[in-house]
Amino acid sequence: MILVTGFEGYGGRSANPSESVVRALDGAKIGGAQVTGQVLPVDFRAICRIMPEMIDSQRPRLIVSLGLWPGEPMVRIERVAANWSFFELPDNTGHRQQGRVIDDGPDGYLSTLPADAMQASIRAAGLPCRQSGSAGTYLCNATSYVTLHHCAQNHPRTMAGFIHLPYLPSQVAAMMDQVAANGEVEMHQRADTASMNLQDMIEALRIGLGVAWAASQA
C-alpha cells in the first residue's frame, strides 16, 4: 500500500496544491499498489500524533508526503529532514514550534526515497523536477522528520520522504490581483510567483510513485 499525504491551506491561503494532488491520487492503482490519500491539518501537535498512528494502522510500504513551497517552480524532492523547527508562521491552531521536532530524536534523517531515479523518470516525461537539501523549518520538515523517525524505529522496511510542490496557476493569478489591489509592493518584488498546473503535478507524482514503489519491492 502507498500512503500519500497532503496539507490543507495555511498562512491565509484557502487552497493547497498538495491537497488537490492527494485527492486526485486517492484510490488510484500504481504499479499494482493501492494508493491511499490523506489530507492533513496544518497543526504541529496533531501531526506528531496522526502520522505515527496512521503508519501503525495502515502499514504502508511507501509513504510520500506533499506540501506547498511558495515560489518553487517545479516538483522538488526533499533529501533531508532536520530535527529543528522555526515556525515563522503560526500553524492553523496558532502554535509556533521553536526548537526540536522531537526532543530526544537524532539531529536529522535522510529520505529513504530513490530520489535520483524518481527525478530522472519525471524529467524524462518532460516535467521539471529537482532535489533539495532542506525542507525548511516549518511543518513540512517536521512531518517528514516525524515520519522518518517513526519508520526508522518501528518500520525499517518502509520507504518514506517528502516532496514540495509549486503554487497552482490560479493561486498566483489571485495573488497578483491582490498585489495590484494592495498597492504596497511593485509586482517585480514578488519572488513567489512560479506555478505548475495540476495535471502536470499529478502526472509527475504518478511517475515518481511508480518508480519508488518498484524500488520498494526490489
Known catalytic membership, residue 164:
yes
Known catalytic membership, residue 78:
yes
Name the site residues for ligand PCA (rule: CB under 6 A): 7, 10, 16, 18, 42, 67-69, 136, 138-140
- Report, in Å, the least distance between residue 194 CB and ligand PCA: 15
CB 10 within 8 A of CB 25: no
CB nearer to ligand PCA: pick between 127 and 163: 163
CB nearer to ligand PCA: pick between 155 and 164: 164
Gap between the Cα atoms of 22 and 30, Å rounded: 14
- Report, in Å, the least distance between residue 169 CB and ligand PCA: 17
Helix (H) or strand (E) holding 76: strand 75-78
- Report, in Å, the least distance between residue 141 CB and ligand PCA: 6
Q: Spot the catalytic one: 140, 150, 151, 155.
A: 140
Residue 181: all three cell numbers together:
489591489
Report the first-to-last Cα separation within the chain, whole angstroms.
15
Coil, strand or helix: which one is 119?
helix
Known catalytic membership, residue 140:
yes
CB nearer to ligand PCA: pick between 61 and 130: 130
What does each C-alpha distance from 13 to 9, 65, 93 come to in angstroms?
5, 19, 15
Q: Which residues are catalytic?
A: 78, 140, 164
